[in-house]
Amino acid sequence: MSQSASPTLAFVAAIEDAAQLFRKAKRVVVLTGAGISSPSGIPDFRSEGSGLWSRDEPMEVASLTAFRASPERFFNWFRPLAGQIYNAKPNAAHIALAELENAGLEITIVTQNIDGLHQKAGSMRVVEMHGTLRTLSCTECFKQFESDSFLEPYIKDGNIPRCLNCNGILKPDVILFGEQLPQFAWLEAQRAARQCDLMLVAGSSLEVLPVAGLPMQALDQGAHLIVINHTPTYVNVRADVVLMDDVASIIPEITKRVLHG
């Protein structure tokens, strides 16, 4: 296992080790969390002191029960975050992962994020475990809409999105507390984890089940594991390479070595 937090020889060797694993891999799964979106200006939910859950009680503002009881309260709370997501641009990590896929590597991205930045960067195989802000669904007639035309007036003026079909309130297609994970996405994520020969955990502390269990499913099938995250994860001791650093700087370095030697 290689690990470093500064540009030492060991650090450079760890990046080269990671690139070597990518060159040898036939099927790659990249499991991404909030840490890959933070450099794009989207706040983490769980960082101690700065995360959203250090200021707000999730069950009171971001649960399905709370949404049903008071959608207005949810939309008032969600509005600043929605604005940050809506205006965010893919960073170097998102772009580098898309470059690897475009170069011909078989990569499936399993993301815990709802921001759609992987798709904006050009990644094609993206499994969204916690839903997406790219669509909204009516709570009355269940008709689904692309979110772009609704988000701008909501973010700018606070207008709660309403269905064009029945005027019901539109709920963002994100998974709130108390909601089940989308079954198709979960099955696809498990399939990809069990069939990959390399998993990269990027910007996830692996604290939220059941997604946090995916690296163990990959390891149990003999896959190699790379972890890039600012803080330790429970699988660091099992990883081939651990880099405690910023994904937006490390993933492009690995990609450059994979594609250009």
Which neighbouring-strand residues pair with 241?
2, 226
What whole-number distance in Å separates Cα of residue 225 and Cα of residue 215?
8
For residue 69, which phi and psi values (nearest 5 degrees)? -75, -40
Residue 216: helix, strand or coil by DSSP?
A: helix
What whole-number distance in Å separates Cα of residue 124 and Cα of residue 97?
10
Q: Which tokens hold the place of 123?
A: 């990644």
Q: Residue type for 167, please?
A: N
What whole-number distance in Å separates Cα of residue 133 and Cα of residue 151?
9
What whole-number distance in Å separates Cα of residue 97 and Cα of residue 256?
11
CA distance readout (Å), 46 to 27, 34, 206: 30, 9, 11
Question: What is the Cα Rg of the chain in Å?
Answer: 19
Q: What is the DSSP string of 23-39?
A: HH-SSEEEEE-GGGTGG
130 in active site = yes
Catalytic-role residue among 130, 224, 230, 260? 130
CA distance readout (Å), 153 to 10, 31, 162, 178: 50, 33, 11, 28
What whole-number distance in Å separates Cα of residue 230 and Cα of residue 249?
12
What whole-number distance in Å separates Cα of residue 217 and Cα of residue 171?
33
Q: Which residues are catalytic?
A: 130
